[in-house]
Amino acid sequence: MSIKTVFIGTPEFALPALKALVRDIDFSVKAVITQPDMPSGRKLIPTPPPVKQLAIEDKLEVWQPQKIIQVLDNLRALAPDVLVVAAYAQIIPEDILKLPKYGCINIHPSLLPKYRGASPVQAAILNGDTATGVTIMLMDKTLDTGPILAQQTIAIKDGETTTTLSAKLAELGAKMLDTTIKKYIKGQIKPQAQDDTQASYIKMFTKQDGLIDWSQPAAAIERQVRAFIPWPSAWTWLKGKQLKILAVAPEPLDVNTYKPGKTFIYNKELAVQCGQDALLIKALQLEGKNTVASADFIRGYQADIGAVLG
């Protein structure tokens, strides 16, 4: 079996899947489509996305259109058996979806139809879910609504961040991918329609979504901190400067004495009163400064202890 494949993806999440296809002798990856290089760092140096870097290492042909429809003719000329999509960050138009013999197959990091959309990993942590998973699905013209080929579930462990959970889901998706595609092509998998009545949709989060509302319970804010690592970060205001909260203790403090947002010292570390209970801060970053541990922040900013955040 030689499955003529085009891989479509951009960030680190997509890397395990591309590696799995390149390693499998039953797949022939003819091209990789990824987003254009983007300016990065203080000098805004154009930087290739992770998928491009891996593709170049593996001597694969790379296409970087501003809009994927621009490579429609290239895809027609290749006549691929399958397109595999993992976190590309563009909608795939119907003209492309209809091209491959066996369709477009997507790796989605949730148990569809739950958490369709752009931020399913963050949503699972924000909502306090105890489990999530990966869905391998056939793509259709609407977002994350296509029939399911395979699903697997994993537990969400205490302290999980979007960074750590995404890495686990990427590896799980890669392990599922090649076997699922081969079984589907052989007719051993019957695609299962999603139950649209159980669907939920998650938007792309923005910087403003990271702003902490200290009137919320400490448990909810703790999840927000973990869900928004690395983007957009959970943050607040301290005397007109942005303050990122990068790590907190997993268990809220049974303190309900102060106004929400008020800072105080607890066992030589910084704590913040919430609407219910308080949070013990472990790492934070003031605008224009380096990330510091809570105790170091107290030593450097003693005059700010007691201020109300927000």
Please, what is the average pLDDT of the chain?
96
Which CATH class for the 207-304 domain?
A: alpha beta
Rounded mean pLDDT, 112-124: 97
CA nearest neighbour of 110 among 140, 92, 141, 136: 136
Show the tokens assigned to 104: 């477009």
What pLDDT was estimated at residue 180?
A: 98
Q: For 181-224, what is each residue's pLDDT tens digit? A: 999 999 999 999 999 999 999 999 999 999 999 999 999 999 99
Instruction: Confirm if 29 and 22 have CB atoms less than 8 A apart.
Output: yes
What pLDDT was estimated at residue 89?
A: 86
**Is 41's pLDDT higher than 80?**
no
Write the DSSP string, 173-209.
HHHHHHHHHHHHHTT----B---GGG--EEPPP-GGG
Note the helical H segments in the chain: 15-23, 50-57, 72-78, 94-97, 120-126, 162-185, 218-227, 294-300
Do the strands 148-155 and 131-138 form a parallel or antiparallel pair, or are they unpaired? antiparallel
Q: For 258-277, what is each residue's pLDDT tens digit? A: 999 999 999 999 999 999 99
Instruction: Confirm if 191 and 104 have CB atoms less than 8 A apart.
Output: no
CATH number for the 3-202 domain, one of 3.40.50.170, 2.60.40.180, 3.40.5.50, 3.50.50.60? 3.40.50.170
What pLDDT was estimated at residue 42?
A: 74
Give the separation between CA 300 and CA 296, rounded to whole angstroms. Answer: 6
For the chain, domain boundaries:
3-202, 207-304
Is the alpha carbon torsion for 53, 78, 23, 137 positive or negative? positive
CA within 13 Å, CB half, 146: 23
Which of 300 and 40 is assigned the larger pLDDT? 300
What pLDDT was estimated at residue 40?
A: 80
Q: For 286-298, what is each residue's pLDDT tens digit? A: 999 999 999 999 9
What pLDDT was estimated at residue 288?
A: 93
Q: For 62-96, what is each residue's pLDDT tens digit? A: 999 999 999 999 999 999 999 999 999 899 999 99
**Is 1's pLDDT higher than 80?**
no
What pLDDT was estimated at residue 176?
A: 98
- The torsion region of residue 306 among left (phi > 0), alpha (psi -120 to 50) and beta comes to left
Instruction: Confirm if 92 and 104 have CB atoms less than 8 A apart.
Output: yes
Same fold yes or no, 3-202 and 207-304: no
What pLDDT was estimated at residue 212?
A: 98
Instruction: Confirm if 301 and 286 have CB atoms less than 8 A apart.
Output: yes
Ramachandran angles phi, psi of 164, nearest 5°: -70, -40
Rounded mean pLDDT, 120-125: 98
Report the predicted TM-score, pTM, of the whole model to 2 decimal places: 0.96
